A = this chain, B = another copy of it.
Amino acid sequence: MFTANGDYLKLRGSYLFSTVARKQREYEASHPDRKVIKLSIGDVTLPIAPAITEAMHKAVDEMATAEGFHGYAPDLGYEFLRKAAADNDYKARGCDISPDEIFISDGAKGDCGNIQEIFSKECRVAVCDPVYPVYVDTNVMAGRAGTFNEQTETWSDLIYMPCTAENGFMPEIPSETPDIIYLCFPNNPTGGVITKDALQKWVDYANKVKAVIIYDAAYEAYISDASIPHSIYECEGARTCAIEIHSFSKNAGFTGVRLGYTVVPKDLKSGDVMLHSLWARRHGTKYNGAPYIIQRAGEAVYSEEGKKQLKEQVAYYMKNAAYILDGLKEAGYEVYGGKNAPYIWLKTPDGMSSWDFFDMLLERANVVGTPGSGFGPSGEHYFRLTAFGSYENTVAAVDRIKKMQ
């Protein structure tokens, strides 16, 4: 008799963003006259840049000919894309990462979820709190999280590193020693950023205790300050302790195009075993490469035209971030993030719970955000807004929130 994976059954309710989407749907169904503005999920709104659509049209035309047809892609992805990523995202920043340490995938979410699979089930996992739910949920599904405590809303076997206003949303080295540490900067959901010096301390710590850092760099394109590293490999020693995950969703608007990559340096080893080999094996066995057309789209992200056009997109969203930040401050909210990061993290007023604030915002301002508590217990009494809406919607949403007072 077949039986279900018991670890899956431990998962709490449904995925955070599904619940948010359901609540929005229900509200819209019962209030068809209201125009709800969605500043919740980190989905972008600007169309794909011309340099990129041009590359995709060209690739589609290639696929229509016998000479230009491309079947199965190479396991790690096409060389043209891996080289462009190595040159632009690493070499240009003085990081020593070679193209064959880059694994092209269909997006950062999958990589964030799948990467834990190459580690033993016994590894102790440390996460920031609040945190992107995928890190926690996929470790629950793998049986690495233990049991859920309804009181504290934490998993018994995970190590939580609270990030609140009190510590400037910066995790502290935990008292228990972890084997795997998830870090994400610029941070989702808090919008917090880390200096190179502070990140160097994490790299030194990981090397000391032989932990691996899974560094989610999905939002690095939003960094404008020179003191903030774009990659963990800007830190000395990161090649022996860090895996980095990169997204094209937020820098190039690829949420519906689907492309990402993960860097596993060949110096990263467990005993004699290169993690690079294990991740290569996973790619070779459970994955068949990102579409050729999409990999060509990724290449165009790094073209001169592409870079110019995408810089404008990032500037557009950061103008939204500034508008939200200023508007909410004006309205008397305690607000964080929104600089070098596309997320705004606000403290709910009068000690309201995150979900109560969600409901109030939806009902009174017809604005959808994401409850902080959905990202972990230390996210309670916080709330996330994203800068990825259209400028018009963002202005309208902020003005409605202001009027709500």
A residues neighboring B (CB under 8 Å): 1-6, 8-9, 11, 14-15, 18, 41, 43-48, 50, 53, 56-57, 60-61, 63-66, 68-73, 75, 106-107, 109-110, 113-114, 117-123, 133-134, 137-138, 141, 179-180, 209-212, 253, 255-258, 270-271, 273, 275, 278, 281-282, 284-294, 390
Compute how far the CA of A57 lies from the CA of B291 in the bound complex, rounded to whole angstroms.
Answer: 15
- Residues of B near A8 (CB, < 8 A) are 118, 278, 281-282
Asked whether A69 lies within 8 Å of B53 as measured between CB atoms, the reply is no
Given contacts A2-B119, A47-B68, 13 further A-B contacts (CB under 8 A): A3-B120, A3-B122, A4-B271, A5-B117, A41-B72, A45-B66, A45-B69, A47-B66, A48-B69, A66-B390, A72-B256, A106-B291, A110-B288
* Nearest-CB residue, chain B, relative to A56: B60
Compute how far the CA of A6 lies from the CA of B121 in the bound complex, rounded to whole angstroms.
Answer: 9
Asked whether A291 lies within 8 Å of B288 as measured between CB atoms, the reply is no
Kindly provide the distance from the CB of A256 to the nearest chain B CB, expressed in whole angstroms.
4
- Residues of B near A66 (CB, < 8 A) are 45-47, 390
- Partner pick for A61 among B53, B68, B179, B282, CB 8 A cutoff: B53
11 contacts between A and B (CB under 8 A): A3-B123, A5-B119, A14-B281, A15-B281, A48-B63, A50-B64, A57-B57, A71-B253, A106-B291, A113-B286, A138-B286
Kindly provide the distance from the CB of A107 to the nearest chain B CB, expressed in whole angstroms.
5
- Residues of B near A3 (CB, < 8 A) are 119-120, 122-123, 179, 270
Compute how far the CA of A294 lies from the CA of B292 in the bound complex, rounded to whole angstroms.
Answer: 11
Closest 4 CB pairs of A and B: A113-B286, A43-B71, A1-B210, A71-B255
Known contacts A41-B72, A53-B61, A69-B45; is A118 also within 8 Å of B5 by CB? Answer: yes
- Residues of B near A293 (CB, < 8 A) are 56, 257, 293-294
Known contacts A45-B69, A110-B286, A284-B14; is A5 also within 8 Å of B256 by CB? Answer: no
Kindly provide the distance from the CB of A278 to the nearest chain B CB, expressed in whole angstroms.
5
Asked whether A109 lies within 8 Å of B286 as measured between CB atoms, the reply is yes
- Residues of B near A47 (CB, < 8 A) are 63-66, 68-69
Asked whether B122 lies within 8 Å of A15 as measured between CB atoms, the reply is no
- Partner pick for A106 among B121, B288, B292, CB 8 A cutoff: B288
Kindly provide the distance from the CB of A260 to the nearest chain B CB, expressed in whole angstroms.
9
Asked whether A71 lies within 8 Å of B45 as measured between CB atoms, the reply is yes
- Residues of B near A133 (CB, < 8 A) are 285
Compute how far the CA of A294 lies from the CA of B5 in the bound complex, rounded to whole angstroms.
Answer: 31
Compute how far the CA of A64 lies from the CA of B49 in the bound complex, rounded to whole angstroms.
Answer: 7
Kindly provide the distance from the CB of A202 to the nearest chain B CB, expressed in whole angstroms.
15
- Residues of B near A273 (CB, < 8 A) are 4, 9
Asked whether A4 lies within 8 Å of B141 as measured between CB atoms, the reply is no
Asked whether B285 lies within 8 Å of A141 as measured between CB atoms, the reply is yes
Kindly provide the distance from the CB of A141 to the nearest chain B CB, expressed in whole angstroms.
7
- Residues of B near A64 (CB, < 8 A) are 47-48, 50, 53
- Residues of B near A65 (CB, < 8 A) are 47
- Residues of B near A14 (CB, < 8 A) are 281, 284
* Nearest-CB residue, chain B, relative to A6: B120
Known contacts A60-B57, A110-B287, A285-B141; is A4 also within 8 Å of B179 by CB? Answer: no
- Residues of B near A50 (CB, < 8 A) are 64
